[in-house]
Amino acid sequence: MGLLNTGHDQTNQQKDIGTALKNGKEILFQGFNWESHKYNWWENLESKVGEIAKAGFTSVWLPPPTHSFSPQGYTPQNLYSLNTNYGSEHHLKALLAKMKQHKLRSMADIVINHRVGTTQGRGGIYNRFDGIPLSWDEHAVTSDTGGLGNRKTGAIFQGFPNIDHTQDFVRKDIIGWLRWLRHNVGFEDFRFDFAKGFSAKYVKEYIEAAKPLFCVGEYWDSCNYRGSSLDYNQDSHRQRIINWIDGTGQLSAAFDFTTKGILQEAVKGEFWRLRDGQGKPPGVMGWWPSRSVTFVDNHDTGSTQAHWPFPSDHIMEGYAYILTHPGIPTVFYDHLFEWGNSIRNQIAKLIDVRKREGIESRSSVRILEAKQNLYSAIIGDKVCMKIGSASWCPSASHTQWELATSGHNYAVWRKQ
């Protein structure tokens, strides 16, 4: 079932979907980039917890916490070892304890699409996991990635044994591990890596069993392009993300890759892209804002990988959009801590306006302008904003607006 309109937020509020999704006040911080494994990362973050909490974030997405074949953590092997390139188990637990003191939730990056084997099994492939906890055999690996299990229920992650979630013993073990992360290690939130690799119904089962407070899935596939030009209409792209959220029983939010793809083209002087055919925001945010996790860049799209980067001279226009709009905004580590004090202060001011004026994931949006060099909107009747090189300010006919914060090519007003 694909939900296409905005009516479902109200009807589902009665469901037990975790207070975080209900209250809509989340502001996420991605607490790492692609190079973080080269440093004593848990210690580095521990020194910044006070600053992150003071900025107004509610949850910090941390890199994968368990042992991995590759240093970044995305090729897991021994899922019960918390000693990684980011630091020791001791330092991780110290970081989580400090975050709890500051009422910051910790989000674990859950990589359960694939796993690196320890020993060669059938076919001479490393598709067995002998000698470590969860010592699965070839039946835990899908038949289309070198195992004896069933076929994949999603996209294949090439080059590694992909886990067969149709196996009861596999799901039982994964649930045991997720409960351990949640209740023993102390993570409160989950981010599901490569979510298009396995059926969303298993994510639903895992969330119901481990009971994280908040979840977000990385359902990332390509936007619709014509050659190198992004199509105006991305409805089929956002519908695929919405279908995945539906498949989780609506228990998980999802990263709004649709908004990311459109916004980074819009800021180049194509702001007409930010209003869809129905006059709404054109990403997941426009259809299901309480499940849309917006972002400007992450460790894959930006950082040193730069697979799909936001134009670096326009990132504040990007933040002015996502931090004033509905959805659940995410700020990237690099932008807060590595791009200088001016960017950090500008982001902090936008977060302050969002919190002070009570903008949340379900706030209304009235788009006023969406043309070549200008986008402007009123959000929740309390905040007005513009981005783009054209000069613009709200009309004072009915409402007295005062400038709350501004910067290069953006401005935000609040009601006086």
Question: How does pLDDT run across 103-138, given as a tens digit for each residue?
Answer: 999 999 999 999 999 999 999 999 999 999 999 999
Q: Which of the two residues, 9 and 269, has the higher pLDDT score? A: 269
**pLDDT classification of 280: cutoffs 50, 70, 90:** very high
pLDDT at 122: 92
Residue 406 in this model has a pLDDT that exceeds 60: yes
Dist CA 74 CA 60 (whole Å): 18
Task: Give the list of residues 6+ apart from residue 182 with CB closer than 8 angstroms, or none.
Answer: 188, 190, 210, 211, 212
Whether pTM > 0.85 for this model: the answer is yes
Q: What is the mean pLDDT of residues 387-406?
A: 90
Q: What is the mean pLDDT of residues 310-339?
A: 98
Task: Give the list of residues 6+ apart from residue 329 with CB closer than 8 angstroms, or none.
Answer: 27, 28, 293, 294, 295, 322, 323, 354
**pLDDT classification of 6: cutoffs 50, 70, 90:** very low
218 tagged catalytic? yes
Instruction: Given the residues 193, 205, 256, 360, select the one marked as catalytic.
Output: 193
pLDDT at 397: 66
Which of 27, 220, 251, 215 is closest to 108 using CA atoms?
215
Residue 7 in this model has a pLDDT that exceeds 50: no
Instruction: Given the residues 109, 137, 173, 218, select the one marked as catalytic.
Output: 218
**Is it true that domain 19-363 has CATH number 3.20.20.80?**
yes
Q: What is the mean pLDDT of the chain?
A: 94
Q: What is the mean pLDDT of residues 181-197?
A: 98
pLDDT at 18: 67
193 tagged catalytic? yes
pLDDT at 369: 97
